[in-house]
Amino acid sequence: KRTHYASSISSTNAQISNFQKSILAVSSAFTAFFDPGRGDMIATLGETTGSIFVNRMRDNMLRDKTGRRILRERPRIHSNTIDIPYLRSLQLGTFGKEYANFLDGQKVTPDTRVKVQYIYDDELAYVMQRYRECHDFFHALTKLPVNVEGELALKWFELAQTGLPMTLLSSFFGPLMLSSKEQERLFKKYVPWALQCGSQCKFLLNVYYEECWNKNIEEMRKELGIYLVD
């Protein structure tokens, strides 16, 4: 069960000038700094500051056979395209089952990702959208929890993968929300793992996750070069 973009994702976006985009970047960074829970502002910051890096992400996909197919077919990840009850029925230890368990355990759905608004190249807009919609797959593969510490560890992992400035902002200022003990654990345990694993493993946007539901997740991690934090 899968759908693709029926029309251009960027064609419905109201375009703004570079000056307006700069103002938006500053205001979203300011808001995200003082309220890290504002996912919409973090998303806006990613779109208004990450053009060079989104281009690099697209180039990484174009250099890979599966990445090129994903760009051509443009699969979407939401409850209308993924059969969650089917994933729940899969054998324990499969990627699909682990992903469904993650969604159920965290009481989240695939429908929470903000739509791209400020990237006007259609293909680049899709790359950013795909990156957002794969976020929960990254959680399932790394087994990082959905809490402040786990999200920050994943942001460092994503920074190593993508270089996106908004991941850098979250990585540096997010720890202010942690206790001193949690900060010490983050920087001694999670950050070294995230930077090493994120930079050495396969570029994760080149994975057609929708075709991996029945794959053993341990074998999948091994193929991708992902190892779990100790």
27-80 confidence digits (pLDDT tens):
554 454 445 555 565 555 555 555 788 999 999 999 999 999 999 999 999 999
For the ranges 112-121, 129-138, 163-172, the maximum mean pLDDT occurs at 129-138
Number of domains in the chain: 1
Q: Distance (Å, rounded) from C-alpha 159 to C-alpha 170?
A: 10
| Bridge partners of residue 94, in order along the sequence | 216
Q: Which two tokens stand for residue 189?
A: 């345990």
1 within some domain = no
Cβ(204)–Cβ(161) under 8 Å?
Answer: yes
42 within some domain = yes
- Mean pLDDT for the stretch of residues 194-216: 98
Look at residue 193 and tell me whether its pLDDT is greater than 80: yes
pLDDT for 45 equals: 57
pTM: 0.82
Cβ(148)–Cβ(177) under 8 Å?
Answer: yes
pLDDT for 179 equals: 87
9 within some domain = no
Q: Distance (Å, rounded) from C-alpha 122 to C-alpha 16?
A: 16
- Mean pLDDT for the stretch of residues 94-101: 98
Look at residue 103 and tell me whether its pLDDT is greater than 80: yes
132 within some domain = yes
Residue located via tokens 């790394």: 142
Cα distances (angstroms) measured from residue 116 to each of 54, 111, 178, 209: 12, 14, 29, 21
Look at residue 2 and tell me whether its pLDDT is greater than 50: no
Q: Which structural domain, as residue segments, surrounds residue 134?
A: 18-224
145 within some domain = yes
11 within some domain = no
Number of continuous H segments (helices) and E segments (strands) in the chain: 13, 0
112 within some domain = yes
Q: Distance (Å, rounded) from C-alpha 1 to C-alpha 68?
A: 20
In 82-206, DSSP assigns E strands to none
168 within some domain = yes
